[in-house]
Structure 1
Amino acid sequence: MSDHEISGKDALVRISATTAREIIELCGTVQFDGNTETGVNAALQLAERFAYLAYDALGDTVPDHEEMARRIMRKNGEHAQLKINEAIKSVQHLTEALAVATKELDTAREELATFYKLRETDVHKANAKAESAIAHTQTAILRILGFSGSGVALLRPSCAQQNILNDTAFYGQSPYVPAPIASGTGPWAEAYSKARATLAQLSLEEKVNLTGGASAPNGCSGNIPSIGRVGFQGMCLTDAGNGVRATDFVNGWPSGIHVGASWNKDLAHQRGIYLGGEFRAKGVNVALGPVAGPLGRISLAGRNWEGFSNDPYLAGALSSETVTGIQSQGVITSTKNSYILNHLLKTELGYQGFVVSDWVAQHAGTASANAGLDMSMPAGATFWGDSLTQAVVNGSVPESRIDDIATRILAAWYQMGQDTSFPLPGSGMPASLVEPHKAVNARNPAAKPYLLQGAIEGHVLVKNVNSALPLRSPKLLSLYGYSATSAPNNNPPSAGALGAWPYGAGAYANPEAIICGLTSTTCGSAPDIAFNGTLVSGGGSGAITPPYISAPLDALLAYAYDNDVTLLWDFINTDGTGVVDQATDACLVFINAWAVEGRDRTHLSDEYSDKLVNNIADQCSNTIVVVNNAGIRVVDGFYNHPNVTAIVYSHLPGQDSGRALVSILSGQTSPSGKLPYTVAKNESDYGKLLSPALPTSPYEFFPQANFTEGLLIDYRAFDALNIEPRFEFGFGLTYTTFTYSDLSLISTGAPTQTYPTGEILPGGKTDLWDVLFTATATVTNTGSDYPAAEIAQLYVTIPNAGVGRQLRGFFKADIGVGASVQVPFKLTRRDLSVWDVVAQDWKLQSGTYVVDVGASSRNLPLSQTITIPEDQGS
């Protein structure tokens, strides 16, 4: 055996042993204490020491591989080739680990520099920066250790807690599922035919170039380079599901949670059409949205507002309408473990498109390619690029996998018609808005009514004592609260690191001292409110970029002018004491609940806002509270105050926020929104799903969600545990009343065998979508004054399913005064099935199913049963 043959292995053994000794020497003395300068520096030194050792090993492991291969092949042929492949893989893994570790160390140094600046003036923030520096250095250590398997075995037990190599040892590993080759059947057949013809003309390097992001002189979130000789123009991928982010001349649409509260499939579809048109006009090939789930599972999660609902049926229905709307404009959508990608998505669901990583979320090279990842963003070269080409050459990744990746990407491009008359990628997305650039106006005037109607229908009225709303010819209205006016900044160059309009972003710093001064609890790392103006969107990559903002104050000023109303306001008094004119007809208090990508909310309410409401209500007998909420907002801090007569969840309405609200307050439009989540009386009612179950040492670097709650999420958990909510899922008031009657269930006669047997096409086995039963019910507007829309909801209780009633249908109908409407529902095989973990298939169980219809998950006056007989063929 030659020296070259064993050098790679020797290097790995040496680095493992050396690393272990270093940890043993340092682990007993270094305290990872984020509050001390010594602890931070010690952690950095430890990580850097490992990095230097690793670079040494890398130098020993990278002789000329071609020369090595020639020498070994002369001696031992096939066995030697296996050895050289192992050496090459070792180098790849180590190189990848070092690249990530280097970035982590750079970030840690930046955080440490900030720590030094802040430690004399703001201990709280300085400590947070110190803790962040520690976290990044520990991550760097783990990345460097991750390529060597033997080092940790030498550690003392007390030190091993700081140095877990990977999560496989603790959580197990999904069974390996080979990546399937896309079938290209059904509606994708023509696109796949074109893609395969193009693929045949590409070199391996060109195929690999399709798999990863590359830099480009535009403002896209990510780019795939062009291949001009075959007519492929490349791709621009840009955020997000609620509108085109961080650019000009686009609309600011209602956010996902607002659409969810509307329960309106038609509006979701129209919103998707116009969103798609704006992405297309800007030269965006892939819209990075919508968010489908499982957002909402964790009540405090910072990105819940981007999704439609905590319920999978409602979220799925609105996601489907959004996707078909966007893709009708020729824009690809990106709805947000080899088993999941290769088996569930690409095999069971017959998925024909491609899978893209979240930004900087790829953490492996060859493994992720074999596990089913198709596109790496934003920089393919980090783990793929030349390394992926080399992996194909040395056999680590089959070339058939690269062919399938490239075919899927090209087929999606052809399927959406982007090979003909599509704008150049990123042509309307300037790299810098403060530099001269071409103005591409993507707004369609025909979208205006849908922007306003979408904003109106996502408002949910949850309290209305003695018909406090609508307002009836008021003479004097008094306005209070920090969420009534527009934010002081609607300028993207001033938006900070996220590059989007910063609604609420200023709250990171500005209101914290005020909040801390008025509450008895300790402030968290981020406030729960946006003190600098009304919320039309949440924060982060899903933030919208509106051309204007109609804030509540703006719209109320116009209302006051048109209706001879005196309007008083005080947005300076921070606690609401001694400010109410006693001649006022109503006091409107505007508060909000802020949420942002990158961090979870601290609480589902805040003492500052609750105190403001209560202080106003102490002085005003008709206090109406308007809550801009980017997620669940618990209101029991003021709900029972006798002078709080009305509460409106206004969610995140987009650019027409104020106009939509005043339409409802004035009675021009009856509210029709209903809650797409459950509002508890107390935060503790959400139990273990209130906040993430973050792992502690020694697993803190490998958070794991085990989903032990099963199907018991949101209303299903409240029902199973018999917890009374403040407002149940599907609840919402309006200015009239409705009655339900005449529930009818009819079998269609479709086969009811236990398991589906249909062909697998995109979406799964075709007979999963067979309609087994149809249902109708009559809804009557029994009020005398207002026409309104009602959302009739159908719930099914499946026998022996381990969960109670589940939403399986809804229908929104406009109903005039005294009129009746028959609302229809369809129940498919999939609606009535459960997942059989043994058969690994959807099972239609025999037995009695209960079907309930009504106005919310706990107001279901109509009920019938249906029976599925035993499958005689089973």
Structure 2
Amino acid sequence: MTDLESRIDKAIEALDLPAKVRLLTGSALFALHPEPAIGLAGLVVSDGPTGVRGSEFVDGEITCLLPNATLLAQHWDPEVTREAGALLADEAANQHIHVVLGPTINLHRTPLGGRLFEAYSEDPLLTGKLAVAYVQGLQGKGISATPKHYLANESETDRFTVDSVVDERTLREVYLLPFEMAVAEANPWSLMASYNSINGTTATEHAPLIVELLKGEWGYDGLVMSDWFATRSAAASTNGGLDLVMPGPQGPWGEQLVAAVRAGEVEESTVDEHLRRLLRLADRVGAFGEEREWPEGLPAPDSPERREQLKRLAAGGMTVLKNENSALPLREGEKVALIGRHALEPVAQGGGSARVRPPHVVSMAEALDASVVDGVEVRTGETAPLPGMLRDPETGAPGIRVITRDQDGVVVDSRHRESAEIFAGDLGRFDNAASLELIAEVTRTERLRVGLRGPGAWQFTAPGVHDDVVLGAGDGPGGGVLNPPAWTVDIDLEEGARISATTPGETGMRVLGLVARRAPKPPAEVISDAVRAAREADAAVVVVGLTAEQETEGVDKTTLALPGEQDALVSAVAAVAKRTLVVVNAATPVLMPWLEDVDAVLWAGLPGQEAGAAVAAALTGEVEPAGRLVTTFPARDGDGPAWSTTPVDGKLPYAEGIAVGYRGWNEEPLFWFGHGLGYTKWQYGEAGLSVGERVESARVEVTNTGERHGREVVQVYLRPEGEPVRLIGWAGVELAPGESALVDVPCDERVQRLWDNGSWRPLPLGGEVLIARGLGDVRAKIRVGA
């Protein structure tokens, strides 16, 4: 027995049953209980995976906002996600956070999934390899990663109640594979169970998946925590392998679990095993026994070092989808018209629990030398105002003032908040107020859309406006937090005009805030302005995209069409511009009815805090946008092997089986998985394989035949006889113009096996190997087997 396990034994023996059980539910929304008697400090956890938000749901510490998961994944380079993990570890250490809740390693099963922006890819092997590196990057600096959501949580509709119906072969070969790889190669110190059920059993009670497979067959020695508010039972979840209930301090364990043990429904040794895993996690992050020393002097989120790093990570993963006649990169000195709401207000991150508070978000209008024209309205709902839109009426500092009053209307507290929203209902300073008033001054003179966000009864005032408003909470768990409702009015305001929203205090968690942004103009007027600017320019860059309404936790999309009149805007510009270059500010596929009419398309993802600077670097060629797509883009709504996210009678069948994503496409998509042009051209020479009982490796000579330095990603696929095609390996290479290299691609045996009647066996060696730049650009085919 190791010294650690001996210390854990002594700690467990020192506690009575209620004390043990107390430690197995969180102490707050993002914290765990300390227990000084056994040398256990309180652990702090934070949402991820593209930033470390900290223990405040809103208005927390300013922290780095990284490019989203799909944009990082489009590098097709585990070293990039390892770098991202290490950066996040530094951000966690800055805030004394022990556990980061990421990476998300569910798959892109259907492009409608609202939370796909947090997940890497539709391919399990690519997802697994990127996840391994991310976990190693975090844990290499002593911060626990938490791969999530275990298991079959590929969509958000009815996510708390949906039963994902998945056959055993598909579970093993597809949805479990990224978790299997992470456990085998990186040993994440914690892991999160999902909300949904899998084949009739809720994830937090799923003994076959947690006890038998994860902890038994795979030998996982880490901790399994619930997703927030996902645990619904005491005995069933405890016996099902769940180790920690989040959040706290209330929950279904506590006294109920103590009673279940005393009634013989749960063995106390089972509780001890859960506590053992919690103490093991605490030791690994420096919170059990001798407490860790937190590093000092780490780069600030807005430091030159971080800004350059985040710009590079974002720009390098951007993907050139189309580039007729080398329309990109932009020519030096040409006159550029920059058009679109996303150019002025880029969407840097998705919605929901992954949101963080960055030091800034650079817009494309700031970063690119161009004449700028606003675009059509892209939102139907509201988000927090951009920094600088509102100021505290007392101090003049950016943000708002929050005033709490007691039952008699007496001011209890008045304080400045840097952001324009607050979080109420987590045992914090706003919980016992009889009323809450959010008040601010606008910082500009123009027609503005102002209002309020958050469920409750409200009184709203502005010059010439006094309204009583009642807003209900959104559907599902966290409806008033993840997607708070809003009410707005469009009015002409002078700088310094005051807006105020007052609501009674009430129980339950709520995100409350003010709304302030420029009021949208009629689409015809906006498009007319855009056409005029495009006609006078050498190149028109139209920036379109999705918003946090479509790419968010808790809600799935219903269409891949761009919101508002963005398609009409692109078409109108393309009809008059000398060159039309479209930048798409979105993480997941969109329809492109204008594709044939434009000269180039740059897929920009959700680029994080350096958004505009990264897009400018990609457009000008300062950084090659060498990304390759990580999911297949449909040409029409409904295309592909899986589409609907709506359960029928509570069940969501994964009817496509192992043919998920590109594996199940029978028609030509808009863009294939793996597609990406970069800024140079590539020639492939003779290819060969190393084959034993499986395809062990592939090799091919590649030559950069273009005029620019570039990065190529050599992709290797296996199309077995009678089975779907699947990625089995890839390798990246960077070459100067005219340079050649022999690229060797190791091929993974885990995607060359078959789950058959309860055990693994090798896939029969037969079919063909494809060596490709993407499934739409296959450069070599080699037969294997008989």
Which of 626, 630, 651 is residue 676 of structure 1 equivalent to?
A: 630
Match of 1:792 in 2: 714
What corresponds to 1:567 in structure 2? 371
Q: 1:387 to 1:673 in 2, by over 3 A?
A: same
* Contact 1:536–1:652 (8 Å) recurs in 2: yes
Q: 1:725 maps to which residue?
A: 669
Rounded Cα–Cα distance in structure 2 between residues aligned with 1:540 and 1:345: 28
Shift of 1:568: 4.4
Partner secondary structure for residue 90 of structure 2? helix
CA distances 1:363-392 after superposition (whole Å, capped 9, x unpaired): 222111111111111125321011111111
Distance in 2 of aligned mates of 1:589 and 1:844: 49
AA aligned opposite 1:686: G
Q: Deviations over 1:484-520 (max 9, x none)?
A: 12xxxxxxxxxxxxxxxxxxxxxxxxxxxxxxxxxxx
Contact 1:280-1:423 at 8 Å conserved across structures: no
| Residue equivalent to 1:528 | none
Q: Of 323, 329, 332, which residue of structure 1 is paired with 2:141?
A: 329
Separation (CA, whole Å) in 2 of partners of 1:193 and 1:829: 38
Deviation at 1:483, TM superposition (A): 0.3
**Residue type of the alignment partner of 2:242:** L
Deviation at 1:420, TM superposition (A): 6.8
Following the alignment from structure 1 to structure 2, what is the Cα–Cα distance between the partners of residues 831 and 213? 38
Note the C-alpha offset of 1:342. Answer: 1.5
- Partners of 1:353 and 1:404 in 2: CA distance: 11
TM-score normalized by structure 1?
Answer: 0.62
Query: Which of 21, 28, 34 lines up with 1:226 in the alignment?
Result: 34
Work out the CA distance in 1 between the residues paired with 2:315 and 2:752: 33
Select 1:653's aligned residue among 602, 607, 619.
607
User: Counterpart of 2:336?
Assistant: 477
Specify the alignment match of 1:87 in structure 2. none
How far is the alpha carbon of 1:630 from its aligned partner?
Answer: 2.9
Secondary structure, aligned partner of 1:224: coil
Q: CA 1:415/1:742 → structure 2, altered by over 3 Å: closer, same or farther? A: farther
Kindly tell me: are residues 241 and 288 of structure 1, through their superposed partners in 2, closer, same or farther at Cα, counting changes over 3 Å?
same
In the TM superposition, what whole-angstrom CA distance separates every residue of 1:185-233 from its partner, at most 9, and x where no partner exists?
xxxx664444334323222222212211123xxxxx4211001021110
Q: Which 10-residue stretch deviates more, 196-205 or 468-477?
A: 196-205
Aligned to 1:435: none
Residue among 370, 385, 408 paired with 2:239:
370
Listed as ranges, the gaps of 5+ residues in structure 1 are 1-183, 216-220, 429-438, 486-532, 561-565, 753-770, 869-874
Contact 1:593 1:605 in 2 (8 A): no
CA offsets 1:629-652 (integer angstroms, 9 cap, x no match): 1311121x21122xx111111011
Matches within 5 A, 1:165-244: 191-215=4-28, 221-244=29-52
Opposite residue 556 of structure 2, the aligned amino acid is: D
Deviation at 1:724, TM superposition (A): 0.4
Deviation at 1:422, TM superposition (A): 5.2
Question: CA separation of 1:332/1:193 partners in 2, compared to 1, >3 Å: closer, same or farther?
Answer: farther
**Aligned with residue 644 of structure 2, among 673, 691, 705:** 691
Shift of 1:417: 4.0
Q: Percent identity?
A: 29
Deviations 1:253-292 (A, max 9, x none): 1111111222121111111101012112212111111100
The equivalent of 1:809 in structure 2 is 729
Is the CA contact (8 Å cut-off) linking 1:293 and 1:307 kept in structure 2?
A: yes
In 2, the alpha carbon distance for the partners of 1:451 and 1:198 equals: 43
Matched letter for residue 389 of structure 1: V
Q: Are the structure 2 counterparts of residues 444 and 617 from structure 1 closer, same or farther at C-alpha, using a change threshold of 3 Å?
A: closer
Give distance in 1, aligned partners of 2:374 and 2:274.
59
Of the candidates 590, 593, 616, which is equivalent to residue 546 of structure 2?
593
Relative distance call for 1:418 and 1:820 in structure 2 (3 A) is farther
1:745-760 maps to which residues of 2 (within 5 A)? 745-747=689-691
Task: Say which structure is richer in strand.
Answer: 2
Deviations 1:810-830 (A, max 9, x none): 112211101112222223432
Contact 1:365/1:384 (8 A) holds in 2: yes
Q: Distance in 2 between matches of 1:368 and 1:675?
A: 39
For 2:304 and 2:571, how far apart are their aligned partners in 1? 43
Residue 781 (1) aligns with residue 704 (2) = yes
Change (3 A) 1:568 1:242: closer
8 Å Cα contact 2:365-2:372 kept in structure 1: no
Q: Is the 8 A contact 2:582 2:601 kept in 1?
A: yes
Query: Looking at CA atoms only, which structure, 1 or 2, has the larger radius of gyration?
Result: 1
What is the Cα deviation at residue 675 of structure 1? Answer: 0.8
One-letter amino acid matched to 1:779: V
Is the Cα–Cα contact under 8 Å of residues 689 and 698 in structure 2 kept in the other structure? yes
> Using the alignment, how far apart are the partners of 1:238 and 1:424 within structure 2?
19
Q: Does 1:818 align with 2:738?
A: yes
Aligned counterparts of 1:195 and 1:444: Cα–Cα separation in 2: 41
Whether contact under 8 Å (1:213, 1:222) holds in the other structure is yes
Instruction: Mark the CA change 1:416 to 1:746 in structure 2 (over 3 Å): closer, same or farther.
Output: farther
Q: Aligned residue for 2:312?
A: 453
Alignment of 1:118-197 (within 5 A): 191-197=4-10
Q: 2:621 & 2:753 partners in 1: Cα distance?
A: 43
Deviations 1:133-163 (A, max 9, x none): xxxxxxxxxxxxxxxxxxxxxxxxxxxxxxx
Establish whether residue 307 from structure 1 lines up as the match of residue 119 from structure 2: yes
Q: For 2:209, give the aligned amino acid.
A: I
Q: Give distance in 1, aligned partners of 2:532 and 2:301.
A: 45
Given that residues 455 and 657 in structure 1 are in contact (C-alpha distance below 8 angstroms), is that contact kept between their aligned partners in structure 2?
Answer: yes
User: Is the counterpart of residue 854 in structure 1 residue 772 in structure 2?
Assistant: yes
Matched residue SS, 1:775: strand
Structure 1 residue 779: Cα displacement: 1.5
Secondary structure in 2 aligned to 1:725?
coil
Structure 1 contact 740–854 (Cα < 8 Å) conserved: no
- Cα contact 1:271–1:450 (8 A) shared by 2: no
Query: Matches of 1:690 and 1:865 in 2, distance apart?
Result: 33
The yes-or-no answer on 1:713 pairing with 2:660 is yes
Classify 1:538/1:781 alpha carbon distance in 2 versus 1 (closer, same or farther; 3 Å): same
* Matched residue SS, 1:619: coil
Q: Structure 1 pair 197/857, CA: closer, same or farther in 2 (3 Å)?
A: farther
RMSD over aligned CA atoms reads 2.5
Q: Could you say what secondary structure the match of 1:665 adopts?
A: helix
Residues 282 and 442 in structure 1, CA contact (< 8 A), matched pair in contact too:
no
Q: Which has the higher contact order (CA 8 A, sep 6+)?
A: 2
| Contact 2:316 2:618 survives alignment (8 Å) | no
User: Is the CA contact 1:848–1:866 (under 8 Å) kept in the aligned structure 2?
Assistant: yes
For 1:66-465, what aligned pairs fall within 5 Å after superposition? 191-215=4-28, 221-245=29-53, 246=58, 247-294=60-107, 296-336=108-148, 337-379=206-248, 381-419=250-288, 446-465=305-324
Please tell me whether the aligned partners of residues 728 and 748 of structure 2 are also in contact (alpha carbons under 8 angstroms). no
2:532 to 574, 580, 596: 580
Deviation at 1:866, TM superposition (A): 4.1
For residues 681-712 of structure 1, the C-alpha deviation after alignment (integer angstroms, 9 at most, x for no partner) is 1112136x2221322xxx3xxx2222121011
Instruction: Report if the CA contact (8 A) 1:623-1:645 is conserved.
Output: yes
Q: 1:741 to 1:418 in 2, by over 3 A?
A: farther
Displacement after TM superposition at 1:423 (Å): 6.0
What's the CA shift for 1:626? Answer: 0.8
- Superposed CA offset, 1:828-853 (max 9, x none): 432311111x1x22211343253221
Amino acid at match of 1:623: T
Residue matched to 2:325: 466
In the other structure, the counterpart of 2:421 is none
Q: Tell me by how many angstroms 1:618 deviates.
A: 2.1
CA–CA separation in structure 2 for the residues paired with 1:548 and 1:257: 21
Query: In 2, distance between residues paired with 1:538 and 1:462?
Result: 22
| Kept after mapping to 1: 8 A contact 2:299/2:306 | no
CA distance in 1, matches of 2:63, 2:289: 23
